[in-house]
Structure 1
């Protein structure tokens, strides 16, 4: 589906590629993903189905044991050549709050955080012309769990020889029909013009405050799904202990609708006794809330028609093309999409990197 062989090639290397949302966005901005590293077989299959510009099959190995030279070789680069762009979103599991009473975790030396360090290892060794790193925005929190890991990451980027900028961007502010805040860090070698982070193109309410460019409203879930014909999917019925309650909840609301505080005559739940996403239903008049990779049986967002979202609907709410082909079963597809970067957001970031590179070249 994606063929970059006839385009001007700005060679990109992708780490922690997943389903390729970040990669799709940078290709839309003018890069060609020549090598990808992704150990999950379903996600790797998805990449190979959709990215036809890869110089070699996806590297399906643990990056902890993968020399940078092999990654560069898979991209068709020879000794002395460097990629135009390094991209990747290391998994966010290192930033759990558990165990931070240990001194070595507070100091940012948690061995589980090594995937961030694998990114900076490749950055230092490959010396790309630019990089884009994406991650959970909780990494920026000023607490014991996140502060050491984030500071360490920025120190390692600096030590690799790069200037950088970082910012938390909400996908809804860039035309995606989903409120999905993510951390982006972009950078270039020191003494070169560092890319800006893109200005919002859309705006509206997010977590009870205004965000983005209010002159152009957020794209709503209803707008994104308008005209989309879908077939029923196995398992889309919401079952479990509480699934029968979903039809009682109005679009845009959650389990709190069934509390005394909201005036329900026969309250079912105590106030704030569940996660916010419990029995959460989409509103067609707002962007979707963040869609999770592994939601529980009663965790939304659910469709306003009182069922689980279907795969074509998920793709629309992330900003993937309708013909993007995902490998694996339904649970795997949910996981791949739920862990991915919405391509329009990635494209907006990558275009700023292209603009900076063109200014440098001229």
Structure 2
């Protein structure tokens, strides 16, 4: 029998696909985004609740899942990271806040946790949630869990760790914090990394080539063409490089000042390395880009997030990018789900290795030779200087002038 999962802030289902591969069944998925909900319905027969979590009764979630209070094996979700201002609710126990549609998403996750009392829970979020000196978010969760335990008589534990997906076989460098707890107080031990750099004693990182090697080239390359004023410059940047190639410290032409741009400006994949983090809403010159000097197809985006193969989408490519870029890599979710099942739920027969990790592919083709800089960019040579240092750049100076 499948283990039972309740999924909040489900998005396109990155967490859910991983838990599914580890033997869990998503009994209900909830999300506000109609495109995400439509995509889940297109690919899975999970019950889907489409709407604001603040407007959704916990009893409705339980009814849709077909489970009673305390029966779900796990509650999973990645509450959007912006608002933590109402964490005081969890210290004061002010129940009137639960019906406020403006209540923060973190508080709403904890509200559903208290109302459903699953055997375990997992929260995914950005690493900034636990940064030292700026940890209001994790403290809100800690306070909320303590308040739940006091009111419900539970013993929910709480462990958190920032994980890089590449260390677990995902062909993408992507850091997120995961918070895991058990209703009976069992402390969670996060799985050790399985993949790393050569010489680490671990399996080699899975690479962009591992993700794409067996895929045919996209049929509609025209739709993946890079647009904008910098598009024609991209072919002149080698694989694995970004705009810094075209600075005085790089190997190209000094078109830009050192560190005058964001890191992912004109950033291009290297075949023999993991991808950099996929962005949900990239600008026209924001990478990473494919080494063929184009954007990724929907199938390629899914491969970089280790989603199950051949998901269907009935939306724009921009929507696909947003859905995939906001998701959790499924192979990492699978490894965490395996450990939750083993450590909390007594499923010692669970698979030992994640099935969604791509196989290593070899040989890796050599990098393509970069093109020459187009003539219409040559006027930029020597036109910019290096960044002068933290707090001294153009934007900082502009802000200082406004403040003065």
TM range (shorter): 0.7 to 0.9
Distance 2:70 2:181 in 1: 19
Deviates more, 1:352-361 or 1:275-284: 352-361
Distance 2:89 2:61 in 1: 27
Partner of 2:203: 216
Query: 2:58 aligns to what?
Result: 68
Which residue in the other structure is 1:165 paired with? 159
The runs of 4+ residues in structure 1 deviating greater than 3 Å are 104-109, 358-362
Alignment of 1:94 onto 2:87 = no
- Which of 133, 139, 143 in structure 2 is aligned with 1:155? 143
Q: Report the Cα offset of residue 235 of structure 1.
A: 3.2
Q: Which residue of 2 aligns with 1:135?
A: 125
Which digits, 9 at most, give the CA deviation of each residue in 1:253-285, with x for residues without a partner?
A: 000111112254x41111111110000000001
Provide the aligned length of Structure 1 versus Structure 2: 332
TM superposition shift of 1:113 = 7.6
With normalisation by structure 2, the TM-score equals 0.77
What does residue 192 of structure 2 align with? Answer: 199
Distance 2:89 2:66 in 1: 35
Aligned to 1:258: 246
Which protein is bigger by CA-based radius of gyration? 2
Provide the rounded CA distance (Å) in 1 between the counterparts of 2:131 and 2:17. 28
Partner residue of 1:118? 108
* Superposed displacement of residue 315, structure 1: 1.1
User: 235-244 or 172-181: which moved more?
Assistant: 235-244
Counterpart of 1:41 in structure 2 is 34
Find the residue that maps to 2:223 and give its secondary structure: coil
Distance across 2 between alignment mates of 1:227 and 1:255: 29
Q: Cα offset for 1:233? A: 4.0
| Per-residue Cα deviation, 1:178-198 (whole angstroms, up to 9, x for no partner) | 01111111111144x233211
Instruction: Give 3-state SS (helix, strand or coil) of 1:94's partner.
Output: coil
Measured in 2, the distance between the counterparts of 1:224 and 1:9 equals 29
Q: Tell me how far 1:92 sits from its aligned partner.
A: 2.4
In 2, Cα distance between equivalents of 1:320 and 1:159: 36
Rate the CA distance shift 1:215–1:92 in 2: closer, same or farther, 3 A. Answer: same
The 3 A distance-change label for structure 1 pair 339 and 232 is: same
Q: Does 1:312 align with 2:299?
A: yes
- For residues 225 and 114 of structure 2, what CA distance do their matches in structure 1 show? 49
2:37 aligned with 1:25:
no
Using structure 1 for the length normalisation, give the TM-score.
Answer: 0.86
Cα deviation, residue 9, structure 1:
2.4
Paired residues of 2:86 and 2:107 also in contact (CA < 8 A)? no
Once residues 88 and 72 of structure 2 are traced to their aligned partners in structure 1, the CA distance between those partners, rounded to angstroms, is 32
1:244 matched to 2:232? The reply is yes
Alignment correspondent of 1:5: none
Distance in 2, Cα, partners of 1:81 & 1:125: 9
Cα deviation for residue 358 of structure 1 reads 3.8
Q: CA RMSD in A?
A: 2.4
Q: Distance between the aligned counterparts of 1:107 and 1:160, measured in 2?
A: 14
Of 36, 59, 74, the residue aligned with 1:85 is: 74
SS in 1 for 2:157: strand
Q: Give the drift of 1:356.
A: 1.5
Residue 308 of structure 1 deviates from its aligned partner by: 0.9
Report the CA distance shift for 1:108/1:256 in structure 2 as closer, same or farther (over 3 A). farther
Output one character per residue of 1:222-267: Cα deviation in whole Å (capped at 9) or x when no partner: 1211021132344311121111110111101000111112254x41
Paired with 1:38 and 1:29, the residues of 2 have a C-alpha distance of 22
Report the Cα offset of residue 342 of structure 1: 0.7
Structure 1 residue 334 displacement after superposition: 0.5
Secondary structure of the residue aligned to 1:235 is helix
Distance 1:11 1:334 in 2: 29
Unaligned runs of 5+ in 2: 91-99, 150-155, 350-404
